[in-house]
């Protein structure tokens, strides 16, 4: 895919997804993208050990800043023609969406543990 300076794009950077504007084509494989808004907040934790809270270094990942320029592989960029939301609004929405998703997973995990505990009792009843 070919991009021009000034094109609006959706771009993935590390674990976040952003609305941006191409500001420079550095070579045939990358483009410099100015961040305009946040679509998906970056994932927290160790990406090599997902869902493991007890790793040696649990990464806190911040979203890229408004107007920050990041060099991104062209394979992670796609055209975008819609309206770009305001940065602060988009950051709040993306952050709250990730919090909601993790809260839902936490509730699911608690309920799953209850069901597995019940199955454990059924599979392996205490012997008298």
72-110 pLDDT per residue, tens: 999 999 999 999 999 999 999 999 999 999 999 999 999
Among candidate residues 30, 110, 111, the one with its CA nearest the CA of residue 77 = 30
| pLDDT confidence band for 127 (50 / 70 / 90) | confident
What are the residues facing 70 on neighbouring strands? 33
| Per-domain residue ranges of the chain | 7-123
Q: Taking the CA atoms of 76, 77, 82 and 88 in sequence, report the sign of the dihedral they define.
A: positive
pLDDT at 19: 98
- Does 47 or 114 have the greater pLDDT score? 114
Domain at 7-123, CATH class = mainly beta
Rounded-to-integer distance, Cα 46 and Cα 123, Å:
35
Rounded-to-integer distance, Cα 36 and Cα 84, Å:
7
């Amino acid at each position: 895919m070919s991009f021009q300076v000034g094109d609006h794009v959706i771009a993935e950077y590390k674990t976040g997804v952003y609305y941006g504007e191409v500001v420079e084509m550095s070579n045939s494989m990358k483009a410099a993208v100015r961040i305009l808004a946040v679509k998906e907040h970056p994932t927290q934790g160790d990406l090599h050990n997902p869902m493991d809270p007890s790793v040696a270094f649990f990464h806190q990942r911040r979203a890229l800043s408004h107007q920050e320029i990041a060099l991104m592989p062209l394979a992670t960029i796609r055209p975008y023609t819609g309206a770009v939301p305001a940065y602060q609004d988009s950051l709040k929405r993306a952050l709250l969406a990730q919090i909601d998703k993790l809260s839902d997973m936490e509730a699911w995990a608690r309920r799953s543990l209850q069901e597995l505990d019940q199955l454990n009792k059924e599979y392996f009843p205490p012997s008298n």
